[in-house]
Amino acid sequence: MTYDLVIGDRAYSSWSLRGWLLFDAFRIPVRVHTARLYSDELPRLLASYAPSRTAPTARMPEGTVVSESLAIAEELASRHPEAGHWPTDPAHRATARMLASEMHAGFEALRNYCPMNLRVSYQGSQPPEAVLKDLARLDVIWDHARRVCGGRGPWLCGDYSAADVFFAPVAARIAGYNLPVGAAASAYVNAHLAHPSFRRWRAMGLVDGPDQTVYRRDWPRRDWPGPVPLPAKAVTGTEAENVACPYSGKPVTHVLELAGRRLGFCNAFCRDKTAADPEAWPAFMPLLRGVAA
């Protein structure tokens, strides 16, 4: 059973982040196909995914094309009920679906003023009144979800669900633009920034192609407020402790340095995404902790 998923730039495409989380966070294997935004790459790639014209778009194992992240969520939940995309409790499930739908269709001011950019975090962004109203609305619906669902743990409706997937880019915006939110919302944002799948996506986004200048804002910057990565860096040469890439098992061609050790990978992207946040990659950490492969 093989799924295919078309995404845009990982650093910037909030819709693509949602589509990918619906697979990765729920342990559904998928082949990912990337295309750069604001170029002809995405239209060319989507030509074989008719009638879709946006990312994310998924192809089901039998060939059916499903575009739009909310449709992908519902289809995966139908095909993989054991994965847990939606809560099993009817009231919790209804609440999660309501929140995901509102996020899918709303919050236009927040989206437009604060486009997702996982490569920077600003000290401040002077949000206008319309953005502040969107943030206030988030407080209302997030508090409602916690009241209905019991408020257990960091997530909105019990365990991590598709509702949280839909707010992952919102968490990225709050973190990236240093938007003013209360303590409960801030804790929810921090849970997203620390989520393993989110960390992997951001690590890839940091090294996934050059900056898109349309997302640049001339505001003072600060450090990204999420977990601080281990200090790894790409280095030249192919000499490494391991002879096989921890992801593919292929021979080492690219190397990073971490804590005075040289660890190898089969291509530049494998190396660079790992150097961006080594602890985000479960397949890499045993190599770091133990014997070379």
pLDDT tens-place string over residues 189-226: 999 999 999 999 999 999 999 999 999 999 999 999 99
What's residue 99's pLDDT? 97
Q: Does position 291 have pLDDT exceeding 60, yes or no?
A: no
Read off the pLDDT of each residue in 251-272 and give the average, rounded to a whole number.
97
Read off the pLDDT of each residue in 244-266 and give the average, rounded to a whole number.
97
Q: Residue 147 sits in which domain range?
A: 90-200
Same domain, 106 and 72: no
What's residue 252's pLDDT? 97
Q: Are 10 and 24 in contact (CB under 8 A)?
A: no
**In which residue are the tokens 């999420």 written?**
226
Task: Kindly state the helix (H) or strand (E) to which residue 286 belongs, with its residue range.
Answer: helix 285-289
CA–CA distance, 143 with 205 (Å, rounded to integer): 31
Q: Write out pLDDT tens, residues 126-159.
A: 999 999 999 999 999 999 999 999 988 999 999 9
**Main-chain phi, psi angles of 160, to 5 degrees:** -55, 130
Considering the entire predicted model, what is its pTM? 0.96
Same domain, 270 and 189: no
CA–CA distance, 107 with 128 (Å, rounded to integer): 13
Q: Does position 255 have pLDDT exceeding 50, yes or no?
A: yes
- Domain count of the fold of the chain: 3
Same domain, 244 and 279: yes
**Cβ-Cβ contacts under 8 Å for 243 (sequence gap 6 or more):** 251, 252, 264, 292, 293
Q: Write out pLDDT tens, residues 46-88.
A: 999 999 999 999 999 999 999 999 999 999 999 999 999 999 9
- Round the average pLDDT of the chain to a whole number and report it: 96
**Cβ-Cβ contacts under 8 Å for 216 (sequence gap 6 or more):** none
Same domain, 185 and 256: no
**Cβ-Cβ contacts under 8 Å for 88 (sequence gap 6 or more):** none
Percentage of the residues of the chain whose pLDDT score is greater than 70: 99
Q: Is residue 124 part of a domain?
A: yes
- Report in angstroms the alpha-carbon separations of 191 from 98, 109, 170, 175, 215: 21, 24, 12, 11, 25
Q: Does position 10 have pLDDT exceeding 60, yes or no?
A: yes
What's residue 212's pLDDT? 95
CA–CA distance, 130 with 132 (Å, rounded to integer): 5
CA–CA distance, 14 with 112 (Å, rounded to integer): 12
Helical packing angle, 183-194 and 129-149, nearest 10°: 80
- Single residue among 83, 111, 145 that ends a domain in this structure: 83
Q: Is residue 181 part of a domain?
A: yes
What's residue 293's pLDDT? 46
- Report in angstroms the alpha-carbon separations of 235 from 29, 171, 211, 263, 279: 31, 33, 22, 10, 19
**Main-chain phi, psi angles of 290, to 5 degrees:** -125, -140
Q: Write out pLDDT tens, residues 21-43.
A: 999 999 999 999 999 999 999 99
**Main-chain phi, psi angles of 119, to 5 degrees:** -95, -10
- Single residue among 50, 83, 116 that ends a domain in this structure: 83
Residue 20: give its domain's CATH number: 3.40.30.10
Say which DSSP state 236 is in. Answer: S
